[in-house]
Chains A and B, each alone.
Chain A
Amino acid sequence: MQLSKDKLIDAYTRMKKIRVFEETMRDEFAKGTVPAFIHLYIGQEAIASGICVELNDDDTIASTHRGHGHCLAKNSNLERMTMEIFCRADGLCEGKGGSMHIADLSVGMLGANAIVGANAPIAVGAALRQRVMGENLVSAAFIGDGASNQGAVFEAMNLASVLKLPVLFVFENNGYAEFTGVDYHCGGGDIAGRAEGFGMPSYKLDGSDFFAVQEAAAEAVQRARKGDGPSAIECYAKRWYGHFEGDPQHYRTKKELESIRKNNDPLIIFRQKVEEAGLIESSELDLIDDDLLSQVTNAVEKAKNSPLPNIEELTTNVYEKGSY
């Protein structure tokens, strides 16, 4: 562990913020206050955080329908993001995107995407800035195990490899493509191996271990910035909840759920490592927990009390103002 204390605190904050946020969203969804479907990121916090701590604000990420974690890990504005999930006028996307289409271009978050796998070519496009403009930028795509079977992802990997573009293909193997297990849906069963077939270095690691993700990300980012092309990082971390909130999860056992919550909690694993190494006091992390809970609670209250978009906004921003 060679990370500074500041970076460790930053990493923990990102992960914990995701956890607190998603638990709060879960409660709100159960209460019926969230006007759209939501897909929770709990269990995978170390992946988004491990990748994004290695990125700068002007580096970009392209996210998925399970995008709240990516948004938070990329330091999106918490209040405006929450408003967007509640489809409010002052949300990041003025209420027109909602949970599955949330974006924050100001921090390089190019959008959640409700078309599975479609974000991979978009991330490749953002990486073209290195080739066309000589900008020293990196672009990451988060791709589920389900999305890993999409042609768009294969095409994106091949193009990034051929053009040697600075892309991180981050495969989040959470065990299930919607309701279908990875053992059933993934031919060959080796997602990282597929990336190797496109000629890029790849990693397979425990996605509930922040340090494993961060270390791989640091190497891949360095390679990308040097102009040495893309990498793939396959992270295993089962999601704790259903495909969407309300999914009865008939496809897996209670035993499995109990086991991952007990043995693969990214936050417990992180705390154990830093506390055992004497890097951060437990009490210090507890204070962060309290602060995040109040930040998230306030953001949710503020969102719920803010207005929905005006009806006049229905047809705005389809095209540039005045051009149609």
Chain B
Amino acid sequence: MTIKTYREAIIEAMILEMKRDEKVFVIGEDISGGRGCEDFDGEAAGGPMGLTQGLWDEFGAKRVIDTPISETAIMGAAAGAALSGLRPIAELMFSDFFGVCFDQIYNQAAKFRFMYGDQGATPLVIRTMIGAGIGCGPQHSQSPYSIFANIPGLKVVTPSNPYDAKGLLISSIRDNDPVIFCEHKALLGIDGEVPDESYEVPLGKGKILKEGDDISIVAIGQMVGVVQNCIKSLEEKGISAEIIDPRSLSPFDDEMVYDSVEKTGRLLVLDESNPVCSFGSWITSMVSEEVFSSLKAPTKVLTPPHCPVPAAPNLEAAYLPDMDTIISASENLKNYS
């Protein structure tokens, strides 16, 4: 067992899978980082966030394919390659860029299996960066996973820590459907224990990070770390929280959430997507339909406000749900009568 960062865990997953299966390749912008330039001299940068560092040196240009800035071509080529038997990992540098290439994702890759009558699989992973918190502003900071999860045919995962990042990416690469793998940019540098060997974290299986009796808190992506920092304060206030990291949004481990709410009677969801039609609101709607009689208080979703992500540091800090908001919302649920 070694301590590795979230970034290192992602790179390691790709290297292991590329060694295991020659059909796996990576395609995207700057993923080798200038290798195509005549005067290139040095180590391949591995993308602006270093998420493909070392791949070019290990596997070369045939399987680590730098592209022009052409997201439609990247996603379409990845979809076509998957349909014809390869296993592409396509990098969409920032998830905000889905707007220029979504047709290839939601009309093409997501529908191939259904509309072609199960003639073939579409084993495609789209690795993309989500999230606010590091000052990237309105067009590089969004978390559009609720939009992705809305599409039949797509699978969506949101790892919150290095261990899950590696195991979920390996499972995603081996999966036979298109998976949108959402990497949170504020988490790239966090570290944790990650085994050196290959392992899978199954898609659609959540994880209970802490058991509790008073309130079920479902946290997505970056919100997992924020709520973990609240545990002590909550306990001091006499609130025993059960914390669930769903890890996958589609498929979603609804049974784990139902079981927890049946025990606690209260549900708080922490979600970084926009509030209207957010993934969090879907979770609360399912809970209301399935385990209504267990509820002791109305369900609650905390999201950012319905506005784009701002650039100014003070505004961005105010944009994300913070510890105070989470603690206060938990108290309100606990004291509801």
Interface-lining segment among B5-13, B110-118, B254-262, B307-315: B110-118
> Which range holds the interface residue count of chain B?
35 or more
Contact B62 A122 (CB under 8 A): no
- The CA-CA distance from A153 to B292 in the complex, in Å, is 51
Contact A128 B86 (CB under 8 A): yes
Q: Which residues of A contact B (CB under 8 A)?
A: 60, 62, 91-97, 101, 103-106, 110-111, 113, 115, 118, 120-129, 131-133, 139, 151-152, 155-156, 158-159, 162-163, 316-320, 323-324
Contact A126 B76 (CB under 8 A): no
Chain B residue at minimal CB-CB distance from A321: B118
Q: Which of A94, A124, A162 contacts B117 (CB 8 A)?
A: A94
- The CA-CA distance from A318 to B65 in the complex, in Å, is 29
Contact A125 B77 (CB under 8 A): yes
**Chain B positions 63-120 with a Cβ under 8 Å from a chain A Cβ:** 63, 65, 67-68, 70, 72-86, 88, 103-104, 107-108, 111-120
Answer whether residue B121 sits at the interface, using C-beta atoms and an 8 A cutoff: yes
- The CA-CA distance from A316 to B77 in the complex, in Å, is 26
Contact A133 B86 (CB under 8 A): yes
Contact B86 A132 (CB under 8 A): yes
Residues of A within 8 A of B152 (CB): 318
Answer whether residue B204 sits at the interface, using C-beta atoms and an 8 A cutoff: yes
- Given A159-B70, A162-B67, A323 and B177 touching (CB < 8 A)? yes
Contact B116 A126 (CB under 8 A): no
CB of B187 to closest CB in A, whole Å: 26
Contact B67 A60 (CB under 8 A): no
Residues of A within 8 A of B62 (CB): 131-132
Q: Which of A62, A106, A152, A320 contacts B176 (CB 8 A)?
A: A320
Contact B117 A317 (CB under 8 A): yes
CB of B122 to closest CB in A, whole Å: 9
Answer whether residue B23 sits at the interface, using C-beta atoms and an 8 A cutoff: yes
Q: Which of B117, B204, B251 contacts A92 (CB 8 A)?
A: B117
Q: Which residues of B contact A (CB under 8 A)?
A: 22-23, 25, 27, 62-63, 65, 67-68, 70, 72-86, 88, 103-104, 107-108, 111-121, 152-153, 155, 175-177, 203-204, 251
- Further contacts, 16 of them, CB under 8 A, given A118-B108, A133-B86: A97-B115, A118-B107, A122-B83, A125-B82, A126-B81, A129-B84, A152-B73, A155-B72, A155-B73, A159-B74, A159-B77, A162-B68, A318-B114, A320-B175, A320-B177, A323-B177
Chain A residue at minimal CB-CB distance from B109: A122
Contact A159 B116 (CB under 8 A): no
